[in-house]
Amino acid sequence: METFSKRHFEKLAKIINRGTGRAVQGFHDVIGESQPYWLDKVLIDAKSLQLDAENYGVIEQEFTGRLNAKVLLLFTAENVQRILQKVLGDEMDAQGLNDVESEAMCELGNIMVNACLSAIADDLHILLESTVTHYQQYSNDGVVALIMQDSHAEHVLVTQVNLMISGVSLHGCKLLMLMNTDSNQEIMEKIELLAT
């Protein structure tokens, strides 16, 4: 299994950072406020993935084209509630939030994941087609199983981003890109082309 060299990884990290910046801009547009954010890590190793919360809201979307990848956007269950409250207003009660949770998180995920992947596609000069987003809550173990059972998951690129809502930090937001070896190779070749 070929892995990224340090040089490839640094270039990929720059592209991912740009994509994440666009995703965060989408997040700020949705919540209606601009807040500082910072990237903790960009890793390419599923074993390094730390899942500290008990439950996560997970938005899934698949991308096909010159590279095939499944992207997972993870928010802790606690942060899902914070986001819904912010987006939908304080008037909505817990039952109301539960009723629209899936729809609202799918739309937020659609905006953030597509913003990020659009930046990557543009930087690598490729076209990516995508499925509609799917949202579900998983336990900590459920997230791990979701990753391990996925056919794309030979390589897992993990971006950890710390977002804020009204000054409150939302720790634990993660963007995972699951790729097979062919897609991994495709990215390396594209990065090589960009360098020449």
Binding site for another protein (CB under 8 A): 26, 29-30, 32, 100, 103-104, 106-107, 110-111, 114-115, 117-118, 121-122, 127-132
- Alpha-carbon distance values, 69 to 101, 144, 146, 154 (Å): 25, 17, 14, 10
CB of 131 to another protein, least distance (A): 7
Q: Which residues pair with 4 in a beta bridge?
A: none
Nearer to another protein, 23 or 176 (CB): 23
CB of 87 to another protein, least distance (A): 9
CB of 137 to another protein, least distance (A): 18
Nearer to another protein, 107 or 154 (CB): 107
123 CB-near residues (< 8 Å, 6+ apart): 15, 18, 19, 194
